[in-house]
Amino acid sequence: MDDLKRPTLDSDFTCDMAFNKITKWAQKNSLWLLAYGTGCGAIELSPTMTSRYDWSRLGIRGSATPRQADLLLITGYLSTKTLKRVIRSYEQMQDPKYVIGFGSCTINGGMYYDSYNTIKQLDLYIPVDVYINGCMPRPEAVLSGLAYLKDKIGDKKADGWIKYKQNFEWYRENQKKILKSFNGDNMPDKYNW
């Protein structure tokens, strides 16, 4: 992580000062998330979205495709095979976009710390804005993580998507260490390294 350049706020991020307050308010109060059920954490999303905890009252809603999503949830362990799809989905999402790492597995591998085919540290491959720890986090923890993300967006600190753009080569290098090539998956050329 040492050679990761610190993201700087460039003009791209601060150009719309006039509408900044309104857009930030809208962006933090309307989060459409792509619940990418990669691991066991997805089971905690069902109570969070239904009657008991009901995240729609916070302006959060599931979205069907990465094109419409603002927030990518990596729910639990991530196998190397799934990482391909996660990268592809993340790059299809439209800026500004955020990532939540969900459960211990995304932080240090969790109970899969010595597994040969899972990712141990998620933010080597895609930028993570908020981690929710626990194995598994309860819906209360999920909601508090989402509230923390909202505060971060409001304070303009949820800048993972700028980090990814500015340190793209660094992230790609790390991805290439794990993934041989996207070849054969019917992918565009830039994914066939």
Partner 1 sequence: MSTDSMYRLLVTIAVILGSIIYGFFINSLARRITARVQNRMGPPLKQPFIDVIKLYSKRTFVTHGIMQTLGPILMLTGIISTLILIPYGKGYLTLYSSNGDLITILYIMTFGQLAMALAVGQAGNPYGTIGVARGLTRMFGYELPLILALISLIALNHSADVNVIIANQHGGIANWNAFRHPFVGITALLAMLGMMSYQPFDNASAPAEVASGPITEFGGKFMAIMMTTNAMFVVAKLALLVDLFFGGASNIFILALKIFLLYLYPLFVGLVFPRFAMEDTFLFFWKWPTLIGFIGLAIAIF
Residues at the site binding partner 1, with contacts judged by CB under 8 A: 12, 16, 19, 22-23, 25-27, 29-30, 32, 50-51, 54, 56-57, 59, 61, 63-65, 67-70, 92, 94-96
Taking the least distance from each CB to partner 1, the nearer of 63 and 144 is 63
C-alpha 190/C-alpha 78 separation (Å) is 23
Please report how close the Cβ of residue 131 comes to partner 1 at its closest, in angstroms. Answer: 24
Q: In angstroms, how far is CA 101 from the centroid of its own chain? A: 6
- CA dist 17 and 104 (Å) reads 37
| Residue nearer to partner 1 on the CB measure, 52 or 180 | 52
Instruction: Tell me the closest approach of the beta carbon of residue 67 to partner 1, in angstroms.
Output: 3
Report the interhelical angle of 168-178 vs 80-92 (nearest 10°): 150
Nearer to partner 1, 56 or 192 (CB): 56
Question: What is the number of H-type helices and E-type strands within the chain?
Answer: 8, 5
Q: In the complex with partner 1, which residue's Cβ is closer, 46 or 50?
A: 50
